[in-house]
Amino acid sequence: MSDGGRPGEVSIANVVRYVRDQERSIAFWTGPLGFEVRRDIEVTAGSRWVEVAPRGRETGIALLGAADYDADPRGGEAGFTLVVADLREWHARMVAAGVPVGDPVEAGTGLYATFTCPDGYQHVVSQPVTE
């Protein structure tokens, strides 16, 4: 994880996602999605801050127990996208793992597919056009 770079520079560390079942969400992101747990610390008694991220990448997802933060996860659009080098290969792995994922769609910017995480958020995964 980066320390933020040079003075005055900013980087994005995590996107916060409030989840109903923290263990289920950790298993989902680290299982079929292949992310790694980057941080798992107790913030207050019984409340954990858990960060998962793609291996070797800076930006991750903080999976926080909704009940611990008086939040109500409602699903819908995730608000961020993921990028893969080979969407068709990724799609086949997700289907084999039982992840609810839509078929790849061709768009002017490349291929994309959507999947739904256990908390009902719809995520877009894309394979950008290579020139």
Banded model confidence at residue 1, pLDDT cuts 50, 70, 90: very low
Q: State residue 3's pLDDT score.
A: 57
Residue 62: give the domain boundaries.
Answer: 1-73
Domain count, the chain: 2
Mean pLDDT of the region 65-87: 90
The answer to whether residues 56 and 92 belong to one domain is no
Task: Report CA dihedral (41, 26, 76, 42) to the nearest 10 degrees.
Answer: -10
Residue 71: count of CB within 10 angstroms of its CB: 15
Give the tens place of pLDDT for each residue, 25-34: 999 999 999 9
Of the candidates 28, 53, 56, which has an alpha carbon nearest to the alpha carbon of residue 117? 28
Please indicate, yes or no, whether residues 67 and 95 belong to a single structural domain of this protein: no
pLDDT more than 70, % of the chain:
95
Is residue 58 domain-shared with residue 95, that is, in the same domain? no
Tell me which of 73, 88, 115 is where a domain ends.
73
Q: Which of 33, 52, 73 is where one domain is finished? A: 73
- Both 107 and 84 in one domain: the answer is yes
pLDDT tens per residue across span 103-129:
999 988 899 999 999 999 999 999 988
* CATH number of the domain residue 47 falls in: 3.10.180.10
